[in-house]
Amino acid sequence: MRSLLAVPITCKSPFLGNIYLSEKLDGALFTPDEEETLERFAVQASIAIDNAHLHSQAEEIATARERLRIAHEMHDGLAQVLGYVNTKVQAAKQYLRRGMADDANQQLDELAVSARQAYGDVREAIVGLRTLPGRDRMLGDVLAEFLQQWKDQSGVETELAIDPDLRLHPSIELQIVRIIQESLTNVRKHARATTVRVAVHRSAGQLVVSIRDDGAGFNPEATARGEFPKFGLTTMRERASSIRGTLDIDSAPGNGTTVRFTMPMTATGTV
């Protein structure tokens, strides 16, 4: 070896490296200017490596948070179902002790309905977890796949409109998909709708996601709660807030429901 130039790559992340150049074509020695050029290249390489490491860590943190959020949602859902089941079982037993068979049968019928609803929730949750965005999947493809499977299970017609070239940061796409999935869960359980339209598009510098159904609608300001507390709207608002977006509900009895999520395009990490 007649010539050698070595420069370290100094990273803030737990990586070390060097760049080596040797054997210039003209046989001359490396000059100070060439060394300075290689040092600048090494700095750029270290920045790229650090950024890649930080991006990987951010994805791991986002995955961990999503798992924790799903665990909380499942706990809330299962806790209310099991509490309801226990209440109905205890009521049925009391009616049977008193010889009130008709009332006991009514409690058991209501228990069977709740069991079927819980089964539907579990099936839908499994489909939702299987159809999440990834690095190699376009958001439109993920939503089309989920809507088709949701339609097959619910019997509700679906429409999807999305900007074909829309690409967002993976963490943004994940929360958007989960908001849409939660909205459709509410449609299946409460709306008695025949058609749902999902739209994802850009408008006046905003990312706009809307889920509109032609179902029974409800009063968003009502504070009364049924036997099953509904955590869905709270969960969707938490997800929207986690990515600096806002969630609005437009509904009225007999006029269907529109769930609308918006956030500035500058905050979406568009790629």
CATH of the domain at 173: 3.30.565.10
In a domain, 150, yes or no: yes
Confidence category of residue 13, pLDDT binned at 50, 70, 90:
confident
Long-range contacts of 8-13 (CB under 8 A, 24+ apart): 8/42, 9/42, 9/45, 9/46, 9/49, 10/42, 10/46, 11/46, 11/49, 11/50, 11/53, 12/46, 12/50, 13/49, 13/50, 13/53, 13/54
pTM greater than 0.85 (yes/no): no
Same domain (yes/no): 147, 270: yes
Which residues form the domain of 252?
A: 138-271
Same domain (yes/no): 44, 149: no
Same domain (yes/no): 45, 170: no
In tens, the pLDDT along 255-266 reads 999 999 999 988
Domain count, the chain: 2
Lowest-confidence pick of 6-10, 24-28, 70-74, 240-244? 70-74
In a domain, 132, yes or no: no
In a domain, 165, yes or no: yes
In a domain, 251, yes or no: yes
In a domain, 33, yes or no: yes
In a domain, 123, yes or no: no
Same domain (yes/no): 156, 269: yes
In a domain, 26, yes or no: yes
In a domain, 82, yes or no: no
pLDDT mean across residues, the chain: 84
- Percent of the chain whose predicted confidence (pLDDT) is above 90: 40
Assess whether pLDDT exceeds 90 at residue 246. Answer: yes
